[in-house]
Structure 1
Amino acid sequence: MISSLKLTNLGPVTPALDMQFTPRLNMITGDNGLGKSLILDTAWYALTRTWPHDDAPKAEGKPVLHGEPALPNHDASPNEAKIEAMVFGASPGSKSFEASYEAKLQNWKNSRGAPVKPGLVVYAQVDGAFSIWDPARDYGTENNDGDVPDALRLTTQNLWTGRGVCPGLIVDWENWRSNNNGAWKLFCSVLREFAPLKAPGSQDALGFLAPLPARRIRVRDASPTPMVRTIIGEVPITQLSAGAKRILSLAYALVWTWLRHREDAKIVGQPPAKNLVLLWDEVECHLHPTWQRLILPALMRVLSSELLTASGSDFQIIATTHAPLVMASIETTVNEQYDRLFDLDLEAETGKVVMTVRPWAKFGDANGWLQSPIFDEMSGGYSVEASRAMQAADDFMAGKIDSLPAGLGTAEDIHQALLKSLGGSDPWWPFWMSFYREKTGQL
């Protein structure tokens, strides 16, 4: 696991960003372009000493041949860029990690010596790809070839059709279902947690994503395709929506990683890892609000009760989000002692990225979170046109006539704009109507 991360002159960060992570849930919010994904990429690098998108084996003094390592801030000297972290794992205590950018090599040079075994590390990226680092398979490996890099990186296609040591979801679907080894039961159990109920009180607990036997769906098919039952009937997994595929991929990546790790740990004669670190970029990506309000609490249940069941096992999640509904979903789950909320902002005076640790608070529904200091959208979920008309109405009622925008200079102009942009039952109407009727003499 990782307890701290400090970035100096890196990406949009200048001069430095220092984060102290908690041992369970760490949520990162902030506008686009402020470094949320950068934090996840560099956390992965500190934990595994690889880049999440890089398939090139590392060699001392050799440049990165593929992938997208983090780069120095363009306003700073490249040699001033640093990544510092504290990582802890199976052995007692933590170990410091430091990497500096070598401008001549166009690459990062990090601490010598074997890295700490931080447990399993899974990175769910925003494009649907997964990077997986397994201490039983990847720790200290020296003889990797191009097909099995120093960490397993799976594109969306790889995850389904296989790559290297991972057979892929399509192959494992029938393998797990036909073998009585507990894998299929575990996979279905995880999906049961992730999938929303068809209806409250429904006996069909799997609701939307009930896994079914694979079958051929076209005459030219050489092999069967896994099927799931959805609200519209049986559907091949290849034809699922982007959101359903994301959920299915997450369930498979976690279950396969854990099962494969237990096998590999036994082969190399070491106990299974007790820790799992999940880095997750944009939790809400492709997900309908129904899923946004259940996925994080469900994920925490899965990690604690379905996968990491051994005594002393633990997980750490570092995730980014833009979704108020995701934040509202964890209000009753978070604990100040184990969970932390980081908010990135652009400081208007200096143009620098600043990080604030926000106290956990109950803002209620998604609209409450949208208007909170986390998202700073004080107009709530209204359209731009509605917000403009409502602000003009507020200013008009307060006598701030000089601040009214063009086209909204009279009570009638404002009233027509409100009629056009607000629904008839909107709770804001009473604030305006009594004033408007008095002003115009209309009933």
Structure 2
Amino acid sequence: MLEYLHLMNVGPAPDMTMELAPRLNLITGDNGLGKSFLLDIAWWALTRTWAGRPALPRSFHQAAGNIEFSFEGKVKSNRYTSTFDRKTQSWTGRAGRPANPGLVLYAAVDGGFSVWDPARNYWRKKGNIDIQDRPAAYLFDPRSVWDGLAGEDRSTLCNGLIRDWASWQKEKGNPFNQLKAALGSLSPPGPDVLVPGGLTRISLDDVRDIPTLRMPYGQDVPIVHASAGVRRIVALAYLLVWAWNEHCKASELLGQQPTHQVIFLIDEVEAHLHPRWQRVIMRALLTVVKALTGTSADMRMQIITATHSPLVLASIEPFFRSDDAWFDLDLVQGTQHDEWDVVLQKRNWVRRGDVSQWLTSEAFDLGSARSLEAEKLLEEAARALSDESFDTQAAMKLDKKLREVLGDTDPFWMRWRFVGEKRGWLS
């Protein structure tokens, strides 16, 4: 489990610290403040590989960039500080075999996916010597998730979703049963359950059997033609099943037990999903990972996810525990009037109930859950209600503007009419 991150002169702020929870970690914040960046750093700290471009120091003219981190490995907790080496333009690493964090998965918002498998990517021993001759990690771009991932020597590292799904469906074995169970658990509530249909062909130029999903209206739709939200969930389900099954097979070949730790990093877990789906996706992911890896007492799972969705936060309220964590990125006024600083802080978790309460919380910092036009007019109306010099003519003009932006049942009308009638503005 990732326990600690401390970034100095790296990223959007001079100093950022995260003391992570062992089970569930949420990251919120506006666009461009560093949510995806923190997930990239977490992936690197655990695997010592970059899922995309490497992080760089904020400035080469200031202090050296440092990344301090600790995670619970296979045997013990490991802490290390890496410094950016300007000559080699790389981050320093500890000599020899690194610690083993367990199985690490990273779902990017663009549909890419990264996997670090302790059975397939970890160093191996040759005699008494540690040798790093295996792939550093499996880095899927969006296309390779579906069509397969090849190694540098043209070896097949992954068949891809389309071929594997078709093969599993024909074999009718355990992987296909796991895939069906994962799809069912990750489905939205209601009739839109993700159920595999028959295999089909869609082109004269593609000889692959293409999996389909059976729609509630009875038609089998090829998964390549499914909506963006469905494709992302299908890809998540497939890669979870593929990563765990391949890890178990590799562990068996090595004569060792599968890992007892799984760490899942997810960027914008709500991407492309309907609000109805956003309300259940986090609980569903926890359920699927537990079902895949088993329920043994020593199996541990950690999720670190970034989100923009108030529905996701509201949906977590029933099962957010006291040892879980919520981190929030904010822009705050700097020492100079025209300066702003990015600040990362751990927030206290409070159940807010209504989704609109989350919109106006520290997570999203909105003034209200209404439209921007309505929010500005309501601020003007609030000032008018406390202004003794506000006259009937001005009140009538403001009343007309309010009617253009507020619904007939908006709760503000009760206060507006009560004060307006009391002061004689409205009849």
What TM-score, normalized to structure 1? 0.88
- Of 361, 370, 377, which aligns to 2:359? 370
The letter for the 2-side match of 1:374 is A
SS of the residue 2:158 aligns to: coil
Question: Given the alignment of the two structures, is residue 138 of structure 1 paired with residue 121 of structure 2, yes or no?
Answer: yes
Corresponding residue of 2:411: 427
Corresponding residue of 2:23: 24
- Of 198, 207, 211, which aligns to 2:190? 198
Corresponding residue of 2:42: 43
The offset of 1:400, in angstroms, is 8.1
Corresponding residue of 2:331: 346
Moved more, 385-394 or 214-223: 214-223
Residues 289, 107 of structure 1: alpha-carbon distance in 2 compared, 3 angstrom cutoff: same
Corresponding residue of 2:2: 2
- Of 101, 118, 122, which aligns to 2:105? 122
The offset of 1:238, in angstroms, is 0.5
The letter for the 2-side match of 1:139 is Y
C-alpha separation in 2, matches of 1:121 and 1:295? 20
C-alpha separation in 1, matches of 2:121 and 2:205? 39
SS of the residue 1:306 aligns to: helix
The offset of 1:213, in angstroms, is 2.1
C-alpha separation in 2, matches of 1:354 and 1:433? 42
SS of the residue 1:430 aligns to: helix
Alignment of 1:248-327 (within 5 A): 248-327=234-313
Corresponding residue of 1:59: none
Q: Deviations over 1:281-307 (max 9, x none)?
A: 111111111111000011111122333
C-alpha separation in 2, matches of 1:149 and 1:107? 19
Question: Given the alignment of the two structures, is residue 399 of structure 1 paired with residue 373 of structure 2, yes or no?
Answer: no
Answer whether contact 1:78 1:102 (CA < 8 A) is retained: no
- Of 385, 388, 397, which aligns to 2:373? 385
The offset of 1:220, in angstroms, is 4.3
C-alpha separation in 1, matches of 2:2 and 2:16? 15
Question: Given the alignment of the two structures, is residue 226 of structure 1 paired with residue 211 of structure 2, yes or no?
Answer: yes
The offset of 1:230, in angstroms, is 2.5
- Structure 1 stretches of 4+ with a deviation exceeding 4 A read 141-144
Answer whether contact 1:308 1:314 (CA < 8 A) is retained: no
Cα RMSD of the aligned pairs, angstroms, is: 2.0
C-alpha separation in 2, matches of 1:231 and 1:437? 53
How many residues of Structure 1 are paired with residues of Structure 2 in the alignment? Answer: 409
Answer whether contact 2:189 2:276 (CA < 8 A) is retained: no
C-alpha separation in 2, matches of 1:378 and 1:363? 16
Corresponding residue of 1:238: 224
The offset of 1:280, in angstroms, is 0.7
Residues 336, 401 of structure 1: alpha-carbon distance in 2 compared, 3 angstrom cutoff: farther
SS of the residue 2:224 aligns to: helix
Moved more, 367-376 or 305-314: 305-314
C-alpha separation in 1, matches of 2:389 and 2:135? 66
Q: Deviations over 1:194-231 (max 9, x none)?
A: 101334xxxxxxx3321112111344442221100224
The offset of 1:13, in angstroms, is 1.6
Corresponding residue of 1:71: 56
- Percentage of pairs with the same residue: 39
Residues 366, 401 of structure 1: alpha-carbon distance in 2 compared, 3 angstrom cutoff: farther
C-alpha separation in 2, matches of 1:441 and 1:373? 37
Answer whether contact 2:123 2:132 (CA < 8 A) is retained: no
Gaps of 5+ in 1: 54-67, 200-206, 403-408
C-alpha separation in 2, matches of 1:116 and 1:190? 30
Moved more, 364-373 or 244-253: 364-373
C-alpha separation in 2, matches of 1:306 and 1:428? 50
Question: Given the alignment of the two structures, is residue 166 of structure 1 paired with residue 158 of structure 2, yes or no?
Answer: yes
The letter for the 1-side match of 2:34 is G
Moved more, 163-172 or 303-312: 303-312
Question: Given the alignment of the two structures, is residue 100 of structure 1 paired with residue 89 of structure 2, yes or no?
Answer: no
Residues 255, 439 of structure 1: alpha-carbon distance in 2 compared, 3 angstrom cutoff: same
The letter for the 1-side match of 2:329 is L
Question: Given the alignment of the two structures, is residue 215 of structure 1 paired with residue 200 of structure 2, yes or no?
Answer: yes
What TM-score, normalized to structure 2? 0.91
Q: Deviations over 1:336-388 (max 9, x none)?
A: 12x101111122134322222112211012111111222221312x1111101
The letter for the 2-side match of 1:4 is Y
Corresponding residue of 2:399: 415
The letter for the 2-side match of 1:99 is S
C-alpha separation in 1, matches of 2:108 and 2:264? 11
The offset of 1:253, in angstroms, is 1.0
- Of 73, 86, 96, which aligns to 1:89? 73
